[in-house]
Structure 1
Amino acid sequence: MRITSPVTIGRQEEISLLERSLTQLRESTGRTVFLVGEPGIGKSRLVDHCVQQAADRGIPVLRGRGSITGGGTPFRPLLEALSSHFRTTAPPADPELLPYRSALARVVPEWRNAAAPGRTESVVELAEALLRLLAVIGRDGGCVLALEDLHWADSESVAVTEYLADNLGRLPVLLLATVRPDPGTALNLARSTERRRVATVATLRPLTAPEIRALVAGCLDAPAADVPDAVVERLVARSDGNPYLAEELLADLVDSKLLSTTTNDPQATDGSQATNRSQAAGGWHVTGDLDTTVPTTVVQSFGHRLLQVDPPLRDFLLLAATIGPRCCVSALRTVTGLDDPTLFSRLRAATEAHFLVPDDSSPHDYAFRHAITVDAVLAGIPAAQRAALARRAADALREDGPPTPDRCQLVADLLVTADDRPGAALLLAEAGRLTMADGASASAVLLLERAESLAGPAHRAEITESLAHALAEDGRLDRAFALAGTLPTLGSTTLAADRMVALHTRLAWAAVVAERSAETVAQVAAARARLHNGGAPEQAAALAVVEAHLALLPGEEERLPDAERLAEEAADMAERAGLPVLACQAWQVLAMLSRTHGFDVADGCLERMLAVAETHGLPGWRFEALIRLGGNAFMRTGEARRLEQARAAAEDLGSIVLSQRTEGFLAMHAVLSGDPATAEEIIGRCLDAAGRMRNHATHRYLLLTSATLAAHQGRRRTMEHVLRAFRQAGGEGSLLTPVMLGLCRAMCALLEEDRATADAEFAAAAAWEAEHPNVYFLAGRYGLRPLLAVLAGTAGWAEHAAVAASPGAELAWNRQFLDLAEAVLLGREGRAAEAAEAVARVRRDPGRFPTGHHLGLRLVAEAALADGWGDPVAWLRTAEEYFHALDVPPVAGACRALLRQAGVNVAQRRRGRELIPAGLRAQGVTPREYEVLALLVDRPGNQDLARLLSISPRTVEKHLASLIQKTGRPDRAALCRLAADLAVHG
């Protein structure tokens, strides 16, 4: 007979939901569905149905599952899912996936590159990468990602699943996951995503009596009317509507001949042959007392079946069940000691006896038909025998090769069964440390927490130490701090002083990165309390580097000299002692501390940091050096070469987070460099992804960059809209506040010709900077605000000299405005030539920061007109042309008004002006004058020009005279040569 029903019974509502979800994939509408139910309720059957429907529609399916023995293996169900798909097809080579290949390499073995620098991607990076990959796989009609037994999955896989559920609504992806209703992270995820309305949760109910009858009829291949009522009543009572249990009980009834069918075929010797003739023989009949002679539970059913197999197979099954639901062939070989022919003979016999089935997720291994099967097999043996089997398996596996997280966890579970809790604790701790080394800090925390709960007094402190490190790595600093405080300070179980110092120093550094100064101080104090005689040099140096960061806090300025000296000593000691990571940390903080001496000194520290990182193969620290050097170079000179190197370094690392961080700087560079297309492309590509990935700092920076882009185009409404999103993302009160006030809002006010508002924004930025560390130098304090103060007459040479002597004055964006302020001061003193030369310095590079450059020309031209120096007409024409093309009417209009005030005829803005070469537009050539000039190529007379343009000869003479005056040409012949040149080169 069949062991399972050929059709899925009682799940029409869930089937309709899945089929609708598959249909919606054609409309690029994604969905997440959680199937929740007890073991055997039918979750996997629904997944099978969905997979078959997807295959019939040509929709790719990626299928993986969690494992009760693999909870400590990062991303196991995802790895299985991708392997199941790429086993028959190569991973896509789409260029859009290139930035994500390194992250995906964790779960796509074909993309692993042993030559690439080692780095552990964050869970969020992998989740975003997987989202992009699924979008590519499903773009021609959708795809299905099926993750079964999510309750057994590692924490990282659950986190990735949550990320996918939150973000695949507009992608052609169906995420289907199965979860037991047991308390835990997987069930919490299902419920929380349902509350957020990003997922549908289908809780599978027990089957009703009519549905049980239909299930039995399908198994027996008989009409439902032929199923005896007594059988249905028994299965309903004993299975509680669970279809798997109902099938197992039915199988036992048939095997024990209590349910049989009559056949006239003398050769029919098994149930399946009888089933094929059931209708002809009159159907199925009960042949005994179901309540007294048949096992009353599935456990008894399996116990009965187990007694019927040969003793060697029985022992084999007991040992396999002791190991767990999955029967890894290599583990069975190790534990049983059988040779391969005997081992595979036993596996084949166990499969034929319906205990084992081939493992879908690992084609060369086996699994028990269901987790219930394992429980049932083991329930019939005494606890002492089970403990002995577990000890035997644990001893064999422990000797079989180097430890892995999976192996350690499996052996630990066996030792718990064998009542060796301390031994299990040590193995779980080892699994936790290995898992943390692989970057799965959340799974490491779970393993170490379990280890701590099992540990005896002799090992609890060292396990607690590892747990505190894992919590810090996972960003759960409050728990890490609290746990470190519980470690004993006296007695035989106390950790060695150097380990305690290392732990508190590590936690202090984590607090520095999280910008938690109070906790940094507390952890430094705790570390110093454990030092003896000042501690070892490397301990003192590591603490000095952490403490140096504290000198950057508001109100701690007097500590800067000591902090700088200690950091220099730490860097020197670290390099001599061969501690490159500590050396990089020291050079990094030195670069921050030394900005007060100028950017040359700061860059020198970063160059040293870069050299150490490259010499010792530290790609993460190499990136940090490059991006800081790139940021400084961008501010100092306006060039982005080092930022491009940093982006390449991030791509080599395979870090999406670091790539986004670099892209943020490049987007701001594009805004200031007058390249809005590049800025918009970067923002459009990275902004939403950074938000999805909770890359909060970069997300805020990209929002501010988007607002700054709008501000530098005079689009206040767009700027304010983006700034609202910036504030909602935590931007208000962040270290970006002065940039928001000065580089963004004040600049927009200036492009609206509203100097009063600009002054107020700059004043707010200055007030904020007075209360906080000065992190950003482009917010106006060192450039644009001093220029406005000089123009307003509220600042003179003394104030200008004070700003010009600061490190911020070295930066190219600021330098242009300070040079213009100097020109204004010189012009007021009648030093016209020197003033003009100061403006000329600025005009040598108009394309570096075009908006700032032309705004500066508009501002300085007003002072030059008033004081009678320089060439303000040419500056205003250039600025007017730029802001007209940029569509910033207030500034363009102000330029035209100043030109009229200077007594210059201002050309009307007629159609065709965009066809005039930029040089001629800057000289004030009008569209009609350009038409006249273009016709001079053939040297026509005035009468011919008048006829061609339908104007009078007198008007032609006026246009020619104006062209000679505006272009500086001596005569008509020279105009003809100019027209010929334009025709050739135009």
Structure 2
Amino acid sequence: MLISSPVVVGRGDELALLDDSLAAARQGEGRAVFLLGEAGIGKSRLAAECAYRAFSGGQAVLRGRAATSGVTMPFRPIAEALLSHFRLGGPPQLPELAPYRSALGSLLPEWRAAEPAGEAPSLFETAEAVLRLLLAISRDLTQHRGPGCLLVIEDLHDAEAETLAVVEYLCDNLRGLPVCLLVTLRPHAHQAGELARTAALRRTAVLTELRPLTGDEVRTMAAAALAVDDGQLPAAVADRLVRDGEGNPFVVEELLGGMVSAGVLRRGPVGDWQVDGDLGIDVPTTVVHSVAQRAAGLSPAGRAMLDTAAVLGRRFSLPVLKLVTGLEDRDLLVHLRAGIDAQLISPSGPVGDWYEFRHALTAEALLAQLLPAERAAIASQAADAVERAHPGLPGEWCPQVAALRLTAGDTRAAALHFAEAGRAALAGGAVNSAVSLLEQAHGLLTGPAEAADRSRVAEQLAYTLIETGQLDRATGLVETLPAAGAGVLGTGRDLALHTRLAWAAVTAGRYEEAAARVQYVRSRLGGFISATHTPAVDVVEAYLVFAGVEGPDTDRAAEAERLARRAAAGAERVGLAEVACQAWDLLALFERRYGFDRADACLERGLALATEHGLTGWQVTLLIRLGANEFLRSGSCDRLQRAHRAALSHGALVLMHSAEATLAIQAVLRGEYATARELTDGCVEATARLRNADNHQLVLLTRAALAAHQGRRREMDRELAEFRRWDGERSLQLPLVFGSRAVCALLEEDRAQALDELDRALAWEDRNPSVFYLSGRYGLRPLLRALTGQADAAEHEQAAAHPAAMLPWNRQFERLAHAVHEGRAGRTAAARAAVAEAGRVGAPFLMARRLGLRLVAEAALADGWGEPVEWLRGAEEYFHAGAVPAVAVACRELLRRAGAGVPQRRTGTEAVPAELRRRGLTAREYDVFLLLLHRLGNQEIAQRLFISPRTVEKHVASLLAKTGCPHRAALCDHAAEVLRRPDPAPGVSARP
């Protein structure tokens, strides 16, 4: 008889924590909670109570449990949780989930394409997709506002690596989201326990360990289970429960049930409970006895069915159970119903073919009654039945048969099945599960006769470890492979493995290690047919030469190009499509030196190969490269937009973010700052969560450029500091940092600082081959050197001869520099024509076009050519509206020098933030206030604003009075504080 308490006893602190976590989720502050405790301590009961409270509060509830059959498929509990919520109504049909459907296809059948759309999504892509889906669920109840959701994952100690990774990812990223994550697990769980403890140390989760119940709590629980007051519980029963139950609620309930079933605890005539016999039974024998006693009430066939189910695991599939037992549907259902009535098993979910034992101890108690030979016989019979019913063992059948063969004692067969399951998991993108399965197989193959099998598994495991970024472990494993005798790899396989290790080392920035691998492979290729190995080695070496690790000290780009070209040709000859795509992608960068037509031809060739061989990832990658080149050549974003849609449709999140970051930098250059902000806001956190350093560096660099192109130095510096924290100093696009700082300096009217930044970019590029041409070398720097008289026409012609000078962004500045030289030489018609051409090519670039005209107008005024007054009026209006006061003020001063009418902006205080307007600051005082942010002296401010130091002094005195600051240093600090806060007035920027 099952005796169970209707109330939760002794868990007040835990329930308070769960209530607080649910309330936090309702407020949009997600939290992860880990409940740690031994079997039977009450974790599931608390999880069920939490789920009930969440559901009662209107929150969506999703529940999943890790399988306990020894081997499970990737994401099993996550998929079960999602399906438990969507089983009746289906997943939400929200447009923002479209990019994530492909990544969720393995979890939700409704979003599974009829045919795979290329490479499987990465683990981080799947984790991000789950996070986005939970967010959609949280908000789906009332369109974009809702009480949030609760995700419950039970028995995490039995989960596979992919589920652990998703849980860790959720813990790290729930803050600020309306999602509560509740996880249960046992102590001494190695990987799951380490995850929980690490998350608690990082304060991304709360870890609480359930203690045993006290004696008083056991008495209260027992009284509640028997439906009597505490005082009515027989003292002998209470004492025995406290002594033998050890504070474990499950054991206490089983003890009570055993007492009642054995008749030693009976209900009296007036409803009380009386002891009638000996209560002295042992624990855990009593738990086994209680389970056995209930199982004894079943028919022999029913007991045999339960024994078989216990061998299969706590959670078992009905079709598998039918295969193993050979029972007909009707008989099987009859026995299942009897097991349910005996409260030994229960359905796992409202519908479906999965069942589970009521508690893990129930399955363990049944197994304890079986002899090892009985377990082995059942497992062998089960494995045979599954193999007959499912030839080839697709999907989950292969790891399940492996576990059964291991239980049956056939270690070699188990190892080979584990290895096959590992290869299938890798093909499906579940690389962490693949590692676990292959490691299990490798550990089972220990005999001398199994040396060849062991080497094959070790080889596959090494490749898989490389896929997961575990290069050190892969290297160590390769070193254990035999160099001769049984199990030695053939020469071809050995060279392929070392070449793959070299490529992994290059992509990880471990150039010396990669160089050593290349040297080893080269040394062995001489006496071997190398056509199938040389191309991959050439690609690696091309990167090493370009990075300066190998090859000549001069013209590294030329040598790297030679190697990449040889790799492309060789790879195509022997059908190595992926290697060929790598080579053509690298060649496209080198070909930029000769013109973007040649660069695009390389990308088109790679795209054709990727399309022919179904390399979806490379298709999208090369489309993005082509789109970026199109923008550089014409200023058009059309092709990149198509590449972005392709990445979105394939669910390639990393590539989608790469396209978004590239679109964002293009929006910055076009002066479309709101678009750039929206794009970077949408992917900055996602690229950080996905730990994609290249993409995240590009996003941070874009955000820095976005701030720089609006003259917001403090914001730019913050983004560049984060860029450096992400190892940005090693980025090939580092010159763009100098370019951004140069633009920011120009918007502060600090031409000397701008030119210094551009000189630093030039020095970096002279030391390091660069194929990224927007740092100013071929446009902005020649213009500033022309304006300052540091460059003559010959120097300008040398810069203008480079193909990069023809890119529209550079061309607009190069033409203006040409106009300065021509105007200074008295060739005014040529100067005017150059300015007109600069206007045509620079039309897409709103801010840059006006900044260029502001710069060249000064030279035109001095040399008497062009239409400087018209250029200055347009620039003054643009920069005044854009809250870039230094440039707007400079334009007004130049107009005065030209004797032209100057727009009066004194009454136009819209540029002054509301907080400062309320204090009475004028527009001119605000100009001074902005420059105090940089702690400039009166003389420097006067030079920037073209006013006298005495006037600056008066404005500073007025600012001190209006702001209430005691001295100038406090006023500078106040400027930093006020300008950091966004202005509530629409359309007004409060940042410098």
- TM-score band w.r.t. shorter chain: 0.7 to 0.9
Which residues of structure 1 form unaligned runs of 5+? Answer: 264-278, 915-986
Count of residue pairs brought into register by the alignment: 896
Alignment map for 1:278-677 (pairs within 5 Å): 279-280=270-271, 283-291=272-280, 296-306=285-295, 309-360=298-349, 363-401=352-390, 402-404=392-394, 406-456=396-446, 457-458=450-451, 459-531=453-525, 533-554=527-548, 556=551, 557-558=554-555, 560-561=557-558, 563-677=560-674
Distance 2:875 2:134 in 1: 49
Alignment map for 1:891-906 (pairs within 5 Å): 891-906=887-902
Alignment map for 1:555-954 (pairs within 5 Å): 556=551, 557-558=554-555, 560-561=557-558, 563-742=560-739, 744-909=740-905
CA distances 1:295-346 after superposition (whole Å, capped 9, x unpaired): 9432344445555644333333222222221231111122122222222222
Distance 2:877 2:339 in 1: 86
Distance 1:797 1:294 in 2: 96
Shift in alpha-carbon separation, 1:904–1:486, aligned structure 2, 3 A? same
Question: Identity of aligned pairs, percent?
Answer: 50
Counterpart residue type for residue 352 of structure 1: D
Greater shift, 875-884 or 438-447, is seen at: 875-884
Counterpart position of 1:47: 47
Is 1:109 the counterpart of 2:115? The answer is no
Counterpart position of 1:166: 172
Deviation at 1:292, TM superposition (A): 6.5
SS at match of 2:762: helix
Is 1:241 the counterpart of 2:252? The answer is no
Shift in alpha-carbon separation, 1:806–1:293, aligned structure 2, 3 A? closer
Distance 2:381 2:523 in 1: 47
Deviation at 1:560, TM superposition (A): 4.7
Is 1:16 the counterpart of 2:16? The answer is yes
Counterpart residue type for residue 592 of structure 1: L
Deviation at 1:529, TM superposition (A): 4.4
Is 1:128 the counterpart of 2:128? The answer is yes
Counterpart residue type for residue 723 of structure 1: L
Deviation at 1:639, TM superposition (A): 1.4
Given that residues 593 and 804 in structure 2 are in contact (C-alpha distance below 8 angstroms), is that contact kept between their aligned partners in structure 1?
no
CA distances 1:201-229 after superposition (whole Å, capped 9, x unpaired): 22111122222223322333333333322
Given that residues 554 and 771 in structure 1 are in contact (C-alpha distance below 8 angstroms), is that contact kept between their aligned partners in structure 2?
no
CA distances 1:103-131 after superposition (whole Å, capped 9, x unpaired): 23332221222256233222222222222
Alignment map for 1:71-82 (pairs within 5 Å): 71-82=71-82
Greater shift, 887-896 or 676-685, is seen at: 887-896
Distance 1:481 1:446 in 2: 17
Deviation at 1:769, TM superposition (A): 2.2
Distance 1:250 1:573 in 2: 76
Given that residues 554 and 773 in structure 1 are in contact (C-alpha distance below 8 angstroms), is that contact kept between their aligned partners in structure 2?
no
Counterpart residue type for residue 508 of structure 1: A
CA distances 1:395-428 after superposition (whole Å, capped 9, x unpaired): 3223331324532332222222222222222221
Counterpart position of 2:218: 212
Counterpart position of 2:98: 98
Deviation at 1:178, TM superposition (A): 0.6
Larger Rg: 1
Distance 2:511 2:395 in 1: 36
Counterpart position of 2:960: none
Given that residues 70 and 313 in structure 2 are in contact (C-alpha distance below 8 angstroms), is that contact kept between their aligned partners in structure 1?
no
Distance 1:455 1:330 in 2: 31
Distance 1:53 1:900 in 2: 72
Distance 1:83 1:292 in 2: 43
Distance 1:455 1:379 in 2: 28
Shift in alpha-carbon separation, 1:585–1:700, aligned structure 2, 3 A? closer
Distance 1:462 1:604 in 2: 40
Distance 2:644 2:837 in 1: 32
CA distances 1:347-404 after superposition (whole Å, capped 9, x unpaired): 2233333332222376323222222122211222332332222222223223331324
Counterpart residue type for residue 291 of structure 1: G
SS at match of 1:596: coil
Deviation at 1:730, TM superposition (A): 3.2
Shift in alpha-carbon separation, 1:640–1:338, aligned structure 2, 3 A? same
Counterpart residue type for residue 191 of structure 2: T
Task: Give the TM-score normalised by structure 1.
Answer: 0.86
SS at match of 2:503: helix
Counterpart residue type for residue 91 of structure 1: P
Counterpart residue type for residue 841 of structure 1: E
Given that residues 405 and 432 in structure 1 are in contact (C-alpha distance below 8 angstroms), is that contact kept between their aligned partners in structure 2?
no
Deviation at 1:505, TM superposition (A): 2.4
Deviation at 1:149, TM superposition (A): 0.8
1:154 corresponds, among 153, 160, 163, to: 160
Counterpart residue type for residue 834 of structure 1: A
Given that residues 295 and 301 in structure 1 are in contact (C-alpha distance below 8 angstroms), is that contact kept between their aligned partners in structure 2?
no
Given that residues 607 and 622 in structure 2 are in contact (C-alpha distance below 8 angstroms), is that contact kept between their aligned partners in structure 1?
yes
Shift in alpha-carbon separation, 1:484–1:559, aligned structure 2, 3 A? farther
Deviation at 1:72, TM superposition (A): 4.0
Counterpart position of 2:956: none
Deviation at 1:878, TM superposition (A): 3.0
Shift in alpha-carbon separation, 1:229–1:526, aligned structure 2, 3 A? farther
Deviation at 1:644, TM superposition (A): 0.7
Counterpart residue type for residue 535 of structure 2: A
Distance 1:305 1:696 in 2: 58
Counterpart position of 1:180: 186
Given that residues 168 and 199 in structure 2 are in contact (C-alpha distance below 8 angstroms), is that contact kept between their aligned partners in structure 1?
yes
Distance 2:582 2:723 in 1: 31
2:150 corresponds, among 144, 147, 151, to: 144
Deviation at 1:662, TM superposition (A): 1.0
Deviation at 1:155, TM superposition (A): 1.5
Distance 1:792 1:129 in 2: 53
Distance 1:584 1:136 in 2: 37
Counterpart position of 1:945: none
SS at match of 1:138: helix
